[in-house]
Structures are given as C-alpha cells and as structure tokens.
C-alpha cells in the first residue's frame, strides 16, 4: 500500500519522523514501513494485510460492543506509547485508521509536530496536520495551531464518540464527512451537564452503567482546560474496566 503523508514538509522531515518512530519498533498499531521514494512524488510504502477501513465499518453490526471497546483500547495504548516519549500522535481520526485481519487498528497518517531533542537538534519546521479533527480542538483552532500532548486526548474524544454512536458519514459526501466530527462533538458539548446522559448507541449495549461511564470519559476528553483532560493511562484504565465488566456480564453457556 502506498500512502502520501501530507504531515511532512520535506525529505529531512520524513527522515526525522522515521528516527522518532524507530523507538517504537514494530508497533502493533502502526503499519510496517517497507520503503519510500522522493522521485518526483513523495510516497511511502507500507506492508499491511487489511480487512477494511474503520470509517467504512462504523455503522456495521460486525463491530459489536466488545470489538469497539478493543479498538478504543488499542488507540489509547498507542497514544500512551507516543506520549511516554513526548511525541504527539496527531491524525487520530477514523478516516486514518485501517483494520487488519486480526482486528488490529493501523493508524496510517499521523503528524509529529515535535519530538524533544530531535526536532530541536535538527531545527525542523514541521508542517503539522492532525487529521480532520484538528480544527475542532480548542487550542489548535484558537491559538495558531498550538498542538500539545493533551490535544491528542481531545481528538480521542471525537474518535470515541464516532465509535460508540455507530454513526457513519453519508458515503461519497465529502462535506458531510468533514463535518461529522464537528456535529458529534458539538452535540456532546451541549449535553455535558445533562445528568445520566448516555451517548452509546442502544443497539451496541443496553448496559446503562457502561454507557454512562464511557460517556463520562468522552466528557473528560472534551474539557477546554488542557489540565482537566485525562491522561492516556486514565483512558486505558477506564476502557479496560468497562470491557472486563462487559465480559463478566456475558451469559455463560451451560
């Protein structure tokens, strides 16, 4: 698969990005880089065994509640791994995610706006693109593109909303696809103070406790104050707790 990473401004920036990612080894949720070319058109080549794109599966019954929780857990772990190295993920967006045959998420386009040490040493100017969600993140939209680690958490909130609401943009409607994150985010923010509200589509689970806990996690991600947003470790803790609780509630076969 050949992809064109719009997040990079030139060859030096790409090589710096590759150096940054080298610390992750072969990460479960990143595609395996086979090679790249700068011959006329810049492109990178990834090796992936793809089942489908996450965007195309958002409204599919094939993605049941447990599978969606597992996908969210994988993305939370990816964010935690990046943040442990002081690297922004960027590009957390269902349109950037592919699902392989083993149901692993592959984040295919992501921007690294800065990496402590590397970016300063090489004085790279990053042309950052944070996926279609970037425009909805307060500190990115209102302060000249100031993207920080907690901006990934806000983007995760929009991603999680799309995942639990089981809403798929109208096929072929680029305008609607671009506004889906804005629509769900705005709706969620308007209901931030509604007690006991549950954002989860009822066809996924009828467990009110799980629905409210995931909804509260989304609310935390959408906090305008950066310091009020949860860490990636907190996201992971809550999601794993809900998944375990859901597994314990499954009826046992006799």
Band of residue 136 on the pLDDT scale cut at 50, 70, 90 = confident
**97: helix, coil or strand?**
strand
**pLDDT tens sequence across 165-180:** 987 654 344 444 444 5
End-to-end CA distance of the chain: 46
Among 48, 60, 132, 64, residue whose Cα is nearest residue 98: 48
User: Which pLDDT belongs to residue 6?
Assistant: 39
Return d(Cα 30, Cα 152) in angstroms, integer. Answer: 16
Neighbour count for residue 48 (Cβ, 10 Å): 16
Neighbour count for residue 89 (Cβ, 10 Å): 26
User: Which pLDDT belongs to residue 180?
Assistant: 52
Residue 90, pLDDT > 50, answer: yes
Region 65-81: what's the mean pLDDT? 96
**pLDDT tens sequence across 146-156:** 778 999 999 99
Residue 30, pLDDT > 60, answer: yes
Q: Is the pLDDT higher at 137 or at 26?
A: 137
Return d(Cα 207, Cα 243) in angstroms, integer. Answer: 12
Band of residue 51 on the pLDDT scale cut at 50, 70, 90 = confident
CA angle 194, 200, 205 (to 5 degrees): 130
Region 14-33: what's the mean pLDDT? 63
Return d(Cα 115, Cα 20) in angstroms, integer. Answer: 7
Residue 202, pLDDT > 80, answer: yes
User: Which pLDDT belongs to residue 23?
Assistant: 55
Return d(Cα 72, Cα 79) in angstroms, integer. Answer: 11
Do 195 and 172 form a contact (C-beta atoms < 8 A)?
no
Among 87, 110, 102, residue whose Cα is nearest residue 24: 87
User: Which pLDDT belongs to residue 42?
Assistant: 62
User: Which pLDDT belongs to residue 88?
Assistant: 83
Residue 145, pLDDT > 60, answer: yes
pTM tops 0.75, yes or no? yes
Return d(Cα 155, Cα 19) in angstroms, integer. Answer: 25
Going by their DSSP bridges, the two strands 105-107 and 97-100 should be labelled as antiparallel
User: Which pLDDT belongs to residue 25?
Assistant: 57
Question: Which domains are present in the chain?
Answer: 49-245 (1.10.510.10)
**pLDDT tens sequence across 115-130:** 333 333 333 233 334 4
Band of residue 137 on the pLDDT scale cut at 50, 70, 90 = confident
Mean pLDDT of the chain: 75
């Amino acid at each position: 698969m050949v992809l064109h990473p719009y997040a990079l401004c030139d060859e030096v920036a790409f090589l710096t990005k590759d150096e940054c990612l080298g610390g992750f080894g072969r990460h479960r949720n990143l595609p395996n880089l086979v090679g790249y070319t700068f011959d006329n058109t810049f492109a990178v080549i990834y090796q992936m065994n793809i089942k489908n794109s996450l965007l195309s599966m958002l409204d599919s019954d094939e993605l049941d509640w447990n599978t969606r929780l597992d996908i969210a857990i994988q993305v939370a772990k990816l964010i935690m791994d990046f943040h442990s190295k002081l690297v922004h993920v960027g590009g957390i967006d269902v349109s950037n995610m592919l699902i392989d045959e083993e149901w692993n998420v592959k984040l295919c386009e992501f921007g690294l706006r800065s990496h402590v040490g590397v970016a300063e040493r090489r004085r790279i100017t990053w042309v950052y693109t944070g996926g279609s969600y970037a425009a909805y993140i307060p500190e990115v939209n209102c302060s000249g593109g100031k993207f920080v680690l907690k901006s990934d958490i806000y983007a995760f909130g929009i991603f999680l909303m799309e995942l639990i609401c089981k809403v798929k943009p109208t096929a072929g409607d680029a305008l609607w696809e671009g506004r889906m994150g804005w629509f769900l985010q705005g709706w969620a923010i308007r209901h931030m103070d509604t007690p006991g509200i549950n954002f989860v589509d009822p066809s996924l689970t009828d467990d009110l406790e799980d629905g409210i806990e995931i909804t509260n996690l989304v609310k935390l991600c959408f906090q305008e104050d950066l310091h009020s947003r949860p860490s990636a470790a907190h996201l992971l803790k809550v999601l794993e707790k809900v998944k375990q609780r859901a597994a314990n509630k499954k009826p046992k076969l006799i």
